[in-house]
Structure 1
Amino acid sequence: MTQPPSAHPGPPPPGRPQQPGQQPTGRPRPGAGSPAAGAPGFQAQPPYVDYGIPRSYDTSVRPSSGLTAARYAPAQIQRPVQPQPQSAWATQTRRVQEVGREAEPVPRVTVLTWIALAVLGIGLLLVLGFFFVYLTLSYSSSPVWWPVMGFLAFLSLVVIVGIILLADRWDPQPIPLLLIAVMWGAAIASFVSFWVNTLGSVLVWRITGSEAVTSFFGPVISAPIVEETTKGLGLLVLMLLARRYFNGPLDGLIYGALIGGGFAFTENILYYANGFDQMGLGGVAVLVVMRGALNIFGHAIYTSLTGLIMGFVARKWGTISGLLVFVVAVIPGMLLHAGWNLTASLAGGWTVTIIMFALEALLSLLWLCLIGVLVWDEARLTRVRLGDYANTGWLTHEEVTMLATWKGRREGRAWAKQIGAKPLMKRFIRESADLASVRQRLLADGANPKVVALEAGLLGRLSTNRQQLFAASGQPR
């Protein structure tokens, strides 16, 4: 991205004009290509670069009939001979078109998203209020301690949210959607699961009259099925509500982990309160260590696997397939959940308990490594799809490197900071990653008119961002 100091010893001497594509220091601007005649700052006829098509992004093989068939025609690159191109991106033939006016910002979330967030926020307050009354009526301990239990449960949620926010740095999801995920788990999933599990256990006890059967049915059969289903329904809601941001396995993992973290928050309050009522502060301390520390990622892992599978299928085979695969996607989480509860119910002695938590620690480590792999995969997808636009002329290939690598992004932000345009560069990076995801969705779903319009808006923003960056640096466009 930058040349050795010997190649550019310093800023140009006084009186010498700054060359296109250079910083004030004389170094090349990040993402600057070799100037072409008549088009300083980018190439009018960019060379074709093969960015490859990894199998996980290849949408060419998909069911051709039934519910999973593509609803729209393939979103292919259109040639100028076609009078009615389906995509603004397809109208470009290896050149960048100047926009006559600044493109309007593309809304990040819809009004429906804000309504859902408000409803879930109210629902969370009602659910927490219900459980406060429930604990007060069910246990003899002073209700003064229940907020303390809530605070202890909240600490674990903070850790999960912190890790997920780190994983979400490449192409950040809108904050309202992240809050919806947490609130769905903490309010809807926990409340519904509480009642269904309770009623199911009562029904089994009435049928069998066996306390042993009921104790086995509740945690090993009912809880995994009911809880993973109610949590997973939140992923369906998010995919329907904001498909634009549910574009791959990393997105699904992020939303699933937050739903699981929210669910664990409410569930831990109930466990801690029960432990305090039966064993006092010592019982709470044991539960905080076991549930809030050693098994902190349990529910986050279970539900994130569901989201990961849904996101992968949606990215490769389209939205309908991503929704339908939910029926299968919940199974891995159910099995892990049931296995953990079964082991916990059969555990006897410290040796078995230590082995159980050692396996849980190994699973958590593998999950964290999986997050790292998915972040790398997301960056690779951005590079491949922005490469499509570079080969068509919207970007230089050097700009693809700047926008789709960690190093390139750092250099781009550092350069923009020198010219007082760091917020503009951050927006350029964010919207470019969004554009890459939209391109992948078009390839998976076909030329959905709404998505094509979204692509056109983001392409307009792409040109506007480039022009504003050039204007801020005082360089020709």
Structure 2
Amino acid sequence: MPALPRRIRKVGAPIGVLILLGLVTGLIVIGLTALNPVGTAVGFVLSTVAIAVVVLAYVWLDRWEPEPPRLLVLAFLWGASVAVIVSMILSLWLEALIAPAAGGSESPSFVSVAIIAPVIEEAAKGLFLLIMLTGRRRNEMNSLTDCLVYAGLTAAGFAWLEDILYIGGGETLGDSLLTAAMRLIMAPFAHPLFTTMLGIGVYFAMQRRNPLAKVAFIALGYAGAVLMHGLWNGSSLVGPGAYFGVYLLWMVPIFVLVIGLGMHGRRREQRVVAGKLPGMVAAGLVTPSEATWLGSIRNRKLAITEVRTHHGKPAAKQVKAFAAQVVELAFVRDRIDRGFGDDRVQALLTEEAYWVHAARAGAPTLQWLATYRIPG
């Protein structure tokens, strides 16, 4: 199978789209800088530092079956460009419709913040997850961890630019720093946490064959995201007591539960791969010695480290690519074993098996690893 055609087919996010979204994001930041240089600079630096922690947390969670970097970047840029722009346009339009009917009262402010904003923003962010379920991109959505990572990074991109907008909107440096403290110290994970609800709904939808059941789970996930977002936004208008109460009694416990769910999802990924390795050994795709380190993220890391130490970075990269390809094959096999093996998935199984062979041919140090005892 030629490398170039497959490389083209595997690029679910064309480079042109990444460049376009990056350009849109850059233009927004440049425009804000022109309006308020000091506030935007403060917002850019502080927001980038805070969101970098969020992004690194999701990259760490994604270590077992790493997603294609182009799709992770696309998720972040979608949140930082398309989702923000669509949310702003629709919010302004709906507020303009509601304002005359409200007769100039304060109610439109609460409605716009606690209802309109959550409904629109979660839809704009969640649309990326629905796009991921189409075409060849759906092959990348294999597990709960995948859904959590894509949802979290999309929301992180949204939060990054939104925080710059709010912090840069301060009239003075003091206002900008106060806004930064409220938004970045207390809730850098807020938007990812909201959109995680939809990510969970998408995951359960992927496990169903009935179209109505799929729609129902996605709708429930979206409703959960809107509810959490609405409570958080609404509490900020009620007063400091409500704001901190929702944060401590609602946001923090759910955040802890989501962390536990993410760890459970990653452990399940490891069990899936470990469970499929005996079949790969029987099929001659993996040797028994390779199965001893491919089934554990710790042993896999040790094996790659030893290859890097003795043979250099290029050799380690080849072994890492082989391990990643084995993981991809394991998840396709698991999809078939769970009863989702249509013609498309069967063809994908054959393709992934071919690419395990190709990855092995491109990693000659695997033979050295077979005779080397990995420490620990």
Summarize deviations over 1:269-325 as a string: whole Å, max 9, x none.
221123x21xx23322222222112111110111122123213432x3369789744
Aligned pair partner of 1:304 in 196, 200, 204: 196
Match of 1:339 in 2: 231
Determine whether 1:286 maps to 2:178.
yes
Describe how 1:6-405 pairs up with structure 2 within 5 A: 107=7, 109-110=10-11, 112-129=13-30, 131=32, 136=35, 142-240=36-134, 242-274=137-169, 276-277=170-171, 280-314=172-206, 316-317=207-208, 324=215, 325-348=217-240, 351-359=241-249, 360-396=251-287, 399-405=290-296
Q: Do the aligned residues in 1 keep the contact of 2:125 with 2:195 (CA within 8 Å)? A: yes
Query: What amino acid is the match of 1:261?
Result: A
Q: Do the aligned residues in 2 keep the contact of 1:313 with 1:321 (CA within 8 Å)? A: no
Q: Bigger relative contact order, structure 1 or 2, given CA contacts below 8 A and separation 6+?
A: 1
Summarize deviations over 1:38-76 as a string: whole Å, max 9, x none.
xxxxxxxxxxxxxxxxxxxxxxxxxxxxxxxxxxxxxxx
Question: Aligned partners of 2:16 and 2:209: how far apart in 1?
Answer: 26
Of 375-384 and 185-194, more deviation after overlay is shown by 375-384
Secondary structure of 1:366's match? helix
Residues 230 and 115 of structure 1: CA distance in aligned 2, closer, same or farther (over 3 Å): same
Deviation, 1:131, is 4.8
Deviation, 1:237, is 1.7
Query: What amino acid is the match of 2:260?
Result: C
Of 155-164 and 379-388, more deviation after overlay is shown by 379-388
Residues 459 and 204 of structure 1: CA distance in aligned 2, closer, same or farther (over 3 Å): same
Query: What amino acid is the match of 2:189?
Result: F
Larger Rg: 1
Residues 323 and 281 of structure 1: CA distance in aligned 2, closer, same or farther (over 3 Å): farther
Q: Do the aligned residues in 2 keep the contact of 1:235 with 1:307 (CA within 8 Å)? A: yes
Question: Aligned partners of 1:474 and 1:229: how far apart in 2?
Answer: 50
Question: Aligned partners of 1:145 and 1:472: how far apart in 2?
Answer: 56
Match of 1:409 in 2: 300
Q: Do the aligned residues in 1 keep the contact of 2:13 with 2:71 (CA within 8 Å)? A: no
Query: What amino acid is the match of 2:218?
Result: F
Question: Aligned partners of 2:120 and 2:73: how far apart in 1?
Answer: 22
Question: Aligned partners of 1:319 and 1:157: how far apart in 2?
Answer: 37
Q: Do the aligned residues in 1 keep the contact of 2:42 with 2:176 (CA within 8 Å)? A: no
Residues 465 and 208 of structure 1: CA distance in aligned 2, closer, same or farther (over 3 Å): closer
Of 264-273 and 161-170, more deviation after overlay is shown by 264-273
Secondary structure of 2:63's match? coil
Match of 1:436 in 2: 330
Q: Do the aligned residues in 2 keep the contact of 1:103 with 1:460 (CA within 8 Å)? A: no
Root-mean-square deviation (CA), in Å?
Answer: 2.9
Summarize deviations over 1:203-246 as a string: whole Å, max 9, x none.
21111214321011111110111110111001112232511211
Match of 2:374 in 1: none
Query: What amino acid is the match of 1:117?
Result: L
Secondary structure of 2:133's match? helix
Question: Aligned partners of 1:327 and 1:398: how far apart in 2?
Answer: 46
Deviation, 1:185, is 0.6
Deviation, 1:188, is 0.6
Deviation, 1:406, is 2.4
Deviation, 1:432, is 0.7
Deviation, 1:341, is 1.4
Relative to the length of structure 1, the TM-score reads: 0.68
Identity of aligned residues (%): 25
Structure 2: runs of 5+ lacking an equivalent: 372-376
Q: Normalized per residue, which structure has more helix? A: 2
Residues 283 and 474 of structure 1: CA distance in aligned 2, closer, same or farther (over 3 Å): closer
Q: Do the aligned residues in 2 keep the contact of 1:310 with 1:322 (CA within 8 Å)? A: no
Q: Do the aligned residues in 1 keep the contact of 2:40 with 2:165 (CA within 8 Å)? A: no
Deviation, 1:439, is 2.1
Residues 440 and 211 of structure 1: CA distance in aligned 2, closer, same or farther (over 3 Å): farther
Summarize deviations over 1:394-426 as a string: whole Å, max 9, x none.
335664342121243144335545662433321
Secondary structure of 1:373's match? helix
Query: What amino acid is the match of 2:101?
Result: I
Q: Do the aligned residues in 1 keep the contact of 2:38 with 2:173 (CA within 8 Å)? A: no
Of 380-389 and 327-336, more deviation after overlay is shown by 380-389
Deviation, 1:177, is 0.4
Residues 285 and 322 of structure 1: CA distance in aligned 2, closer, same or farther (over 3 Å): farther
Aligned residues: 360
Match of 1:425 in 2: 319
Q: Do the aligned residues in 1 keep the contact of 2:32 with 2:40 (CA within 8 Å)? A: no
Residues 387 and 239 of structure 1: CA distance in aligned 2, closer, same or farther (over 3 Å): farther
Question: Aligned partners of 2:46 and 2:366: how far apart in 1?
Answer: 50
Aligned pair partner of 2:341 in 429, 446, 455: 446
Question: Aligned partners of 1:123 and 1:426: how far apart in 2?
Answer: 34
Q: Do the aligned residues in 1 keep the contact of 2:80 with 2:160 (CA within 8 Å)? A: yes
Deviation, 1:463, is 3.3
Question: Aligned partners of 2:159 and 2:86: how far apart in 1?
Answer: 14
Question: Aligned partners of 2:124 and 2:318: how far apart in 1?
Answer: 40
